[in-house]
Amino acid sequence: MKAVIFEGPDQPAMVREVKQPIPGAKEVLIRIIAASLNRRDFWIKKGIYAGAEFPCIAGSDGSGTVEAVGPEADSGLLNKKVVINPSLNWGNNPLYHQPEFHILGLPRQGTLAQYISVPQESIWEKPIEYTFEQAAALPLAGLTAYRAMFTRGQLQEGEKVLITGAGGGVAGFLVKFASAKGAQVFVTSSHEKKIKKSIQLGATDGVLYTDNEWHKNLKEQAGGGFDLIIDSAAGANFEYLLSLLNTGGRIVIFGGTAGKIPAFTAAKLFYRQASILGTTMGSPEDFKNMLTFIQQNKIFPEIDRILPLEDTELAFKHMENQEQFGKIVIKVSEVIQ
C-alpha cells in the first residue's frame, strides 16, 4: 500500500510503498478514503513531539470503509462507511484517561496511508450527511472541542465565551458549538481575515492578540468579562485571560503553543471563584455525544483545502505558514461505489 512516511526529524513527507497491515483479533481493516492533518502531525514531523520515532506513518484523523475484520471482530461491519475515533485506550473512567491511553498516529501507525488496522470499538458510522472528506476533518478537532466546551467547560446557553487562536480546526468547531448552544462568542487571532471568518461562523467579534491593548479592547467589545475561556496557547498572555474572567468563570486549556505560563497573582483566581481546567482529547462517551450534537445541529467542519496523498508535503508547508482556516484534508483513495 501507499503511505506517507516521515523518515527522520524535519524531513520531507514522502509517499512510499509499505506492507499493508493485518487486523488483529478484535480489529478491523479500514481502507482510508480521506485523512486530515493536525498540529500534532506537524510537531511529529518536526521531531519535537514527545515520543516521536522514525520512520513513522502519522495521522490521527481518517474516514473510509471496512475492508476486513479480525477473527474476533464483528463481520457485520464489513463494507460499513466509518469515521475513526483517534482517542485509543481511554479506559472506563469518563473523568480522565488511563495510563495506556494514546492517540492514533504515534506510536501506532496513523491514517496517512491507504489502509489502517484499528480496534473495532474505535470506529463509528460516518454521519450520512458528511462526505468522506468532511468526516476525516472531524475526529480529533471535533472531539477536543466538544470535551473542552461541554464536558470540562460546562457551557450554558446565554454565557459569554472567548476562544483564543481562531483559524485552527479545533477553534472552528468551538465557535460553531458555542453558537449552536446559544452562547455569545468572541475570538482572538493574529490575522484579521480569520476574525472576519469566525464572525461568519457565528462569533460576535474578535481582536488581534498581536495588539498591545488586545485584552482591554476585547473587554470593551464584550461589555465585560467572560464566563468561559478556551485556550490552546498558554504563554505570556495567560495572565490577561485570568483578568478577563467573570466571577465563577472557567478557563479550559488544551494546548501550550505559546510556551510556559508565567507567575500570576493568585487573587485573580481565588477571589473570582474561578477554575482552570486541563483537557486532552476525550472519552468514547464524548465522541458519541459529539457525533449526536453535530448531527442534531447540522454542524459541518471548515475545510481549508483538499490535496492528494502525493501532495502531503505541500499540505504541511501550508500549515507551517499558518494561513489556513479550518482543516487541511488529504484525499487518499477514491470512493468505490
- Identify whether residues 117 and 152 lie together within a single domain: no
Q: Is it the case that residue 323 has pLDDT exceeding 80?
A: no
Exposure string of 144-175, with b = 16+ CB inside 10 Å and e = fewer, is: bbbbbbbbbbebeeebbbbbbbbbbbbbbbbb
Question: 290 pLDDT band (50/70/90 cuts)?
Answer: very high
Question: 256 pLDDT band (50/70/90 cuts)?
Answer: confident
**Residue 294 is assigned to a structural domain of this protein:** no
Q: Is it the case that residue 294 has pLDDT exceeding 90?
A: yes
For 131-147, write each residue's pLDDT tens digit: 999 999 999 999 999 99
Integer Cα distance of 312 and 315 in angstroms:
5
What is the average per-residue pLDDT within 277-300?
97
Q: How far apart are the first and last CA of the chain?
A: 20
Handedness of CA 99, 105, 94, 172 (dihedral sign): positive
Report whether 203 contacts 194 (CB < 8 A): no
- Can you give the pLDDT at residue 267? 85
290: helix, coil or strand?
helix
Question: 258 pLDDT band (50/70/90 cuts)?
Answer: confident
- Can you give the pLDDT at residue 337? 58
- Which residues are CB-contacts of 266 (< 8 A; sequence separation ≥ 6)? none
- Can you give the pLDDT at residue 22? 95
Q: What is the CATH number for 22?
A: 3.90.180.10
Strands 303-308 and 327-331: parallel
- Identify whether residues 134 and 250 lie together within a single domain: no
- Identify whether residues 134 and 157 lie together within a single domain: no
Hunting for cell 449552536 — which residue is that?
Answer: 180
Q: 189 has which bridge partners?
A: 208
- Can you give the pLDDT at residue 296? 96
- Count the alpha carbons within 13 Å of 112 in the hemisphere toward its beta carbon: 32
Report whether 278 contacts 253 (CB < 8 A): yes
- Can you give the pLDDT at residue 93? 94
**Residue 291 is assigned to a structural domain of this protein:** no
Backbone torsions φ then ψ of 267, nearest 5 degrees: -60, -30
- Identify whether residues 226 and 316 lie together within a single domain: no
Q: 28 has which bridge partners?
A: 69, 118
For 60-119, write each residue's pLDDT tens digit: 999 999 999 999 999 999 999 999 999 999 999 999 999 999 999 999 999 999 999 999
For 145-166, write each residue's pLDDT tens digit: 999 999 999 999 999 999 999 8
Hunting for cell 475545510 — which residue is that?
Answer: 303
Backbone torsions φ then ψ of 21, nearest 5 degrees: -70, 155
**Residue 67 is assigned to a structural domain of this protein:** yes
- Identify whether residues 131 and 149 lie together within a single domain: no
- Identify whether residues 89 and 201 lie together within a single domain: no
CA distances in angstroms from 301 to 137, 153, 168, 318, listed in the order given: 6, 21, 11, 18
**Residue 293 is assigned to a structural domain of this protein:** no
Q: What is the CATH number for 236?
A: 3.40.50.720
Q: Number of folded domains in the chain?
A: 2
Question: 13 pLDDT band (50/70/90 cuts)?
Answer: very high
Q: Measured in whole angstroms, how far is the alpha carbon of residue 28 from the centre of its chain?
A: 23
For 171-215, write each residue's pLDDT tens digit: 999 999 999 999 999 999 989 999 999 999 999 999 999 998 999
Percent of the chain with pLDDT over 70: 99
Closest by Cα among 324, 299, 303 to 193? 324
- Identify whether residues 157 and 125 lie together within a single domain: no
Q: Is it the case that residue 231 has pLDDT exceeding 90?
A: yes
Domain of 239? 143-278
pTM: 0.94
DSSP of 224-256: S-EEEEEES--GGGHHHHHHTEEEEEEEEE---
Integer Cα distance of 330 and 66 in angstroms:
19
Average pLDDT, whole number, for the chain? 94
Report whether 87 contacts 142 (CB < 8 A): no
- Identify whether residues 225 and 192 lie together within a single domain: yes
- Identify whether residues 33 and 119 lie together within a single domain: yes
172: helix, coil or strand?
helix
- Grid coordinates representing 3? 503511505
Closest by Cα among 71, 146, 139 to 104? 139
Report whether 77 contacts 65 (CB < 8 A): no
Question: 169 pLDDT band (50/70/90 cuts)?
Answer: confident
Q: Look at phi and psi of residue 262 and say left if phi exceeds 0, alpha if psi is from -120 to 50, else beta.
A: beta
The letter for the amino acid at 206 is G
What is the average per-residue pLDDT within 235-244?
89
Report whether 28 contacts 68 (CB < 8 A): yes
